[in-house]
Amino acid sequence: MTAKILTKRRTVATFAGGALLALSPLVTQTAVAAEPELTVAAKGAALLDGDSGKTLYGKDADTARPMASTTKIMTAYVVLDKGADLDLQVPVKQEYRDYVTEHSTSTADLQTGDKLTVRQLLYAALLPSGADAGFALADTFGTGDTIAARTESFVSQMNEKADELNLPKTEFDSFDGASAGSSSTPTELAKLAQRAMENDTFRTVVAAKQYKAEAPAANGNTRYYTWNNTNQLLGSYDGVIGIKTGSTTPAGACLVFAATRGDKTLVGTILNSADRYGDAAKMLDYGFGSDIAENMKLRKLPANSQRD
């Protein structure tokens, strides 16, 4: 659809002696193309300029909704913002595995008694979206005499960090977003992601399509892990550099994403969408002024990968 601007211009003729004679008005039409409208399936969405934080697009962008496993962005950010020792070894407890079974969450399939580093746990939490790895981080970096107390303490730290980052509508009730109690707005979640991407380790982790780890096992042998990134936009849309998927019944399919082209970075959020990757690609096209979404083919995940 085009918008038409009508302008009137009166032409004049100059005759001998300087007399002016007005001629008939001439009406000209200049066609101006209207900016294409962006339509996404998501119930909530936001796209920000990664440098300035300016909102480029929003759909119900300031309404808080459940955010599923995108919660783990904050889980990782709290750990990294502490300046945690990334080489610290953390023993895997049976409680971490029991949690996955009890809540039917995605898992990194951590084995009881194995010792993984904090760095490995970050990959395990952010790539296959392992709730067991998120639990291990919360238990390690929370304070208290029991697992429950330490986990509660860590979730409190997540909420304190949200306040510190001026995210008033963002609230956490768990380290993994398994329940509907962890919620945020598309805009605030994109702002959190923007801040997290300033950390070199976080940025490196979420950009990995796959990560292989070795860990000392309880029996003295070496355990080998392979974790695939559940974010299929990574490797499918040119320039995508992360970040995190999420999916629960209350939240629907969610995605926080970032992409860079030249000196321009975009960060976006999709909450509760029937087509989160298509939505994200259209939003990136909109932000970059490109035309990739229509012909994008999603990167396929190995058969044994987690789906989140």
- Please identify which of the residues 69, 106, 184, 247 carries the catalytic annotation: 69
- Cα–Cα separations (whole angstroms), residue 6 to 3, 30, 32, 54, 151: 10, 7, 11, 33, 65
Is 156 a residue of the active site?
Answer: no
Token pair belonging to 16: 């001998």
Instruction: List the beta strands (DSSP E) in 15-133.
Output: 20-33, 44-49, 55-59, 65-66, 89-91, 115-117
- Please identify which of the residues 72, 161, 191, 244 carries the catalytic annotation: 72
CB 148 within 8 A of CB 230: no
Q: In this structure, which amino acid lies at residue 257?
A: F
Is 69 a residue of the active site?
Answer: yes
Instruction: List the beta strands (DSSP E) in the chain.
Output: 2-14, 20-33, 44-49, 55-59, 65-66, 89-91, 115-117, 183-184, 210-216, 222-228, 240-248, 252-261, 264-273
Q: How far apart are CA 12 and CA 171, in angstroms?
A: 68
Q: What are the phi and psi torsion angles at 33 (to 5°)?
A: -70, 130
Which pairs with CB-CB distance under 8 Å and at least 24 residues apart come from 221-225? Answer: 223/111, 223/114, 225/108, 225/109, 225/120, 225/124
Beta bridge partners of 131: none
- Please identify which of the residues 59, 106, 129, 191 carries the catalytic annotation: 129
Q: In this structure, which amino acid lies at residue 80?
A: L
Is 305 a residue of the active site?
Answer: no
Q: How far apart are CA 18 and CA 15, in angstroms?
A: 6
Closest CA to 141 of 205, 204, 77, 220: 77
Active site residues: 69, 72, 129
